[in-house]
Structure 1
């Protein structure tokens, strides 16, 4: 294979890799900036990081939750009956808490229906909400879909209650569930609509709902804005979830403490309560199982609705809103990994090394994303690494198939002149045509020629001559392969073989002589077979010449026809030696061959002979097996 052809092949391969990389990068960009099909998978990995770091987030001590839990439901039955309780119960609690001047009280209780049997109870709650010294009691509202049972409400009429500002069309209406048990004049409202992701997990919270240009704030955003906390830009934000460790009070215990036992409170108890509630933000809601207000969060199922509101406000108050990494940086990192792989495969780095490096890089990316979440930053790493790994697997598969094709070609090529064991060794070591060409090696060259073959071929039919030669060559080639020789070529009725290439063989000379002796024995057996088949058959005879020395080894020829062969003076001398065997000995070897394996075989000097192309005469020896 010529260098220009190899360069052309590598150039075409590199072009295809670059083109495939561009297509892959385009698909990567499409997913990252537009499709977001892997968004849920990314979110679930972030959930795992969130769970790992949940204990590190210390809830704000200024946020207190008053919880109507299952025990509170039971303990309050004697006072308030079954749920839902009369609204005056909550009015009593508000009256007791107001003495400690909390910064805000936020209800996560709907109050959406009037108590027709106890209107005074509703009035009592309205009065208490309106009478709040700081007017800082917030009530929840819910934006319903168009099929909701509640009648549409003109947004202009509730603009003040939601603190919505700006110029809007007064006729715009929305279906809202409002706290009808409280008089509208006392409303300070915010929406509590959840924003579940596609897999049903609550990871984000709305800042506002846009209805025909009206921005209706969520309850946490409304409270944060009124209290002067920074509200991020956008319609929603990703929550940073702490472990369930908010400062909590059981509703029943607090209610009894602030109503039934309030006259009997000792000064120390009053001071403790003042410390716990003064200037605090108090959320009142229900975790009882009958409230059905539990949500699936990154920390698991059962996250109570009032805790969700408290977490959202905690995030806003303390600037713990999760930030998203800029997607263009993620794209550049992923593109860099893709290009690094293209370069590595182009340089023919072993796929296992590339894979190991990619494993380390992936683990490093996971660690980096985990550390980023510790700093309230979300890094989407699944998307880039999925594309990088798909590219790696595809490139590794293509490389494997290409390598397999190259090996198959090598096997098919070398089987012509190498024994199967040598072929396997070449394939296992990944040798190529280029790596096996143009080598200077010391080899032992053997020529074997059939004597008087011209006379035999003229006296026999062509088909019989070809069949006879094939039978003879089959035996002799097996012997060459048996002794680890390399079959170079057939030249008419002549066999050329050599030892010492493509792999070094310290015993090449003795293997070559042993092969020559076996070829001689095989000839005698072959003649016996021919006599058994046809008593009038002519005997075959051969001459075998061997020489040891340096030669150039490699694939020589044209692109359409290559031969793995040896060239040089060593080859020429071995051919001349074979020509001198007639009338002297069936096998002749040079002194170089004899000296290389005298300890294994016996040699008889047959004399010195002038050889064409050489000034000095050549000593020739007839080998034989040592008698043990």
Structure 2
């Protein structure tokens, strides 16, 4: 019944923790920040082994470019004629695409000719891509139905005709190119950029991102999702970069010094890494990752179809429930706590390694949440197991203390013995029965209070003698005492200890008589001792059980006690005598045995040879 009760508790706990796991994965997401941190650590390590696409080159508006060009063209923003000259120079090398990470949203009122020059250059090329900035849906924004075609926006079956959106658009010449896409770098709640939108869905209208526009323009396929988890390639500033100033100054030379095919068949991204332009974000691989490199990473992922694919949360939930279920099964099978803990630690390490290895196959396996819930189950179940063991220990101490010396009790409990483990064992033991003579006369001549006080004192002294010789006090039967040696702890010299205990009880009687004088002068005792096989354990009903011994050995010991009257205060059987000699050696035996003859015993066909033990002087 106790076993089934424990099974129900562990099974119920498994169901409860599994339910909490599903709720966390589906709705709460309380552990998501921790999950992100673990995934970030894996991604950062994995990124070190992954090289950026060599066909993507960044023309870098870096600190050096800002310094070198400050004297000749002024401070940033530069005249747009510079960008026009840069485009014309790079186009001579036939790149696949030139992508600007610069938002040309306002006309240069002080240099309109520069804007016109740039517009002519843009219209003359077909592989230029420009960003636009998506703000938010609004009633006062751009009507999507009217400008969708011009902006490359796709209408879906559920598109709302009256939908509008607020956007920051580039100059008209760039809008006419239709090579536009949004470049909105969106961070998670903790401020870290982990993903990139392929397109933005606004009331059923799909607004393409700049990386998606580049990918489709170059003939690369797009994933069937509006969002990709970025697969990072190296830490910040890992993509091949060429200083804007170096390229521009080289184009001004009559005889260029740079390679004439430097940008041939490359995807060229023009953007800034200069810290003064404040275009940096936090990412899993670096706390200061420039926006242009995030753009490069997104284009890289779409070009090579190597964006990460998050494992379905329901599969993670199934894994967590399975893991919790296995733990519940282990606990209901009464497996050792340490073994379960070591096994769970091994599974934890294996799953973390598997999650890290899964990145090689582009799977993002968020494993922390199911593992944490598995450990929560283990810790709660371990606490339950500890409390159960503590309760069992306290019950064992309380139970054993009724019939064993406290030192023996501690030894048994430290060995992990329980009522179940000490039941139904056949052992060779030595049994002692002791009974009071003259108790009836004492009862007639004393008040009930005196009788109870006297018996309590008597039993206390006699049980102390039993415990002093490491005996097990079985029970009090009226004014009789039953004790045995050889169980529950193994005692190779149980016969010697039993006889020593019997003689100590006899000596204790004399002390008792002296203490209580006339009131105890008529008290006499008889002690019978016999050795043999007996069944020892907890015996009784479900509601009450006692640790006792049963069998012929017990019966004969009681019969011998009944024969002591008129013969000797202490009598032992020949089996006990022979065991004493065997257990100590004839010369070393501390007792001498006086032959008291053979005596008929009720229930036995053969007479029993009895001896009176005395201590050797």
* Equivalent of 1:547 in 524, 530, 535: 530
Aligned positions of 1:613-628 closer than 5 A:
613-627=603-617
SS at match of 2:491: coil
The range that moved more, 161-170 or 117-126, is 161-170
Tell me the distance in 2 between the aligned counterparts of 1:325 and 1:169: 33
Tell me the distance in 2 between the aligned counterparts of 1:145 and 1:530: 102
State the 1:83 CA deviation. Answer: 1.2
Tell me the distance in 2 between the aligned counterparts of 1:546 and 1:169: 102
Aligned to 2:102: 109
* Equivalent of 2:571 in 588, 594, 605: 588
Distance 1:494 1:539, change over 3 A: same
Distance 1:498 1:316, change over 3 A: same
State the 1:602 CA deviation. Answer: 1.9
State the 1:387 CA deviation. Answer: 1.8
Distance 1:313 1:456, change over 3 A: same
Q: Does 1:568 align with 2:568?
A: no
* Equivalent of 1:604 in 576, 588, 593: 593
Tell me the distance in 1 between the aligned counterparts of 2:10 and 2:443: 57
The range that moved more, 363-372 or 498-507, is 498-507
Q: Does 1:89 align with 2:72?
A: no
* Equivalent of 2:151 in 162, 168, 173: 162
Q: Does 1:194 align with 2:185?
A: yes
Tell me the distance in 1 between the aligned counterparts of 2:604 and 2:71: 127
SS at match of 2:435: strand
Aligned positions of 1:409-558 closer than 5 A:
409-531=395-517, 538-558=521-541
* Equivalent of 2:562 in 555, 563, 579: 579
Tell me the distance in 2 between the aligned counterparts of 1:563 and 1:166: 84
SS at match of 2:238: coil
Tell me the distance in 2 between the aligned counterparts of 1:308 and 1:418: 76
State the 1:536 CA deviation. Answer: 6.6
State the 1:104 CA deviation. Answer: 0.7
SS at match of 1:564: strand
Aligned to 1:3: none
State the 1:144 CA deviation. Answer: 1.5
State the 1:173 CA deviation. Answer: 2.4
SS at match of 1:159: helix
Q: Does 1:407 align with 2:393?
A: yes
Contact map agreement 2:462 2:505 (CA 8 A) in 1: yes
Contact map agreement 1:324 1:377 (CA 8 A) in 2: yes
Aligned to 1:152: 141
Contact map agreement 2:495 2:580 (CA 8 A) in 1: yes
Structure 1: 5+ residue stretches without partners:
1-5
* Equivalent of 1:120 in 113, 125, 133: 113
Q: Does 1:369 align with 2:371?
A: no
Instruction: Give the structure-2-normalised TM-score.
Output: 0.94
Aligned to 1:284: 270
Q: Does 1:130 align with 2:123?
A: yes
SS at match of 2:601: coil
Structure 2: 5+ residue stretches without partners:
582-587
SS at match of 2:3: helix
SS at match of 1:441: strand
Aligned to 1:300: 286
Tell me the distance in 1 between the aligned counterparts of 2:435 and 2:3: 43
SS at match of 1:225: helix
Distance 1:169 1:436, change over 3 A: closer
Tell me the distance in 2 between the aligned counterparts of 1:21 and 1:602: 62
Aligned to 1:226: 217
Kindly provide the CA deviation profile for residues 70-97 of structure 1, in whole angstroms up to 9, marking residues without a partner as x. Answer: 1111111112211111111211211211
SS at match of 2:14: helix
State the 1:34 CA deviation. Answer: 4.2
Q: Does 1:265 align with 2:256?
A: yes
Contact map agreement 1:112 1:181 (CA 8 A) in 2: no
Kindly provide the CA deviation profile for residues 531-553 of structure 1, in whole angstroms up to 9, marking residues without a partner as x. Answer: 3xxx6752532221111111121
Distance 1:187 1:120, change over 3 A: farther
Distance 1:126 1:412, change over 3 A: same
The range that moved more, 514-523 or 299-308, is 514-523
Aligned to 2:585: none
Superposed CA RMSD in Å reads: 2.1
